[in-house]
Structure 1
Amino acid sequence: MARLTIAATWDGEAVPAEERAELALERVAEGLSVSSDSLHHGDALPEAPPGETPGLWNYEVLELFIAGPDGRYLEFEWGPAGHYLGLQLRAYREVESRFAALGMRVETRGARVHAQFLLPNGQLPPWPWTLNAYAIHGVGKTRRFLAAYPVGGPGISEPDFHRLSCFRPAPLGLKPTG
Structure 2
Amino acid sequence: MLEYKITNTWDSIKVMHEPVIIRFKAGDHGLIMEVNSLFFDDPSAPSGEPGKPFDGLWDYEVVESFFLNSETKDYLEVELSDINWNKWNGTALIPWRYFPPGVDKMNSYAIHGSGIGRTYEALYPIPREDIELGQGPNL
Contact 1:25 1:32 in 2 (8 A): yes
Equivalences for residues 142-157 of structure 1 within 5 A: 142-151=117-126, 153-157=131-135
- Higher percent of residues as strand: 1
TM-score by length of 2: 0.85
Q: How far, CA to CA, are the matches of 1:52 and 1:32 in structure 2?
A: 17
Question: Residue in 2 aligned with 1:124?
Answer: 99
TM-score by length of 1: 0.68
Question: Residue in 2 aligned with 1:49?
Answer: 49
**1:72 pairs with 2:74:** yes
User: Larger relative CO (CA 8 A, sep 6+): 1 or 2?
Assistant: 2
- Decide which of 113, 119, 122 is 1:138's aligned counterpart: 113
How far did 1:29 drift?
2.2
Instruction: Give the RMSD, CA atoms, in angstroms.
Output: 1.8
Equivalences for residues 10-89 of structure 1 within 5 A: 10-18=10-18, 20-43=19-42, 44-50=44-50, 51-69=52-70, 70-81=72-83
Question: Residue in 2 aligned with 1:158?
Answer: 136
How far did 1:112 drift?
1.7
Does the C-alpha gap of structure 1 residues 28 and 127 become closer, same or farther in structure 2, counting only changes over 3 Å? farther
Question: Residue in 2 aligned with 1:114?
Answer: 89
Q: How far, CA to CA, are the matches of 1:134 and 1:28 in structure 2?
A: 23
Report the residue type matching 1:158 in the other structure.
G
Q: How far, CA to CA, are the matches of 1:42 and 1:139 in structure 2?
A: 10
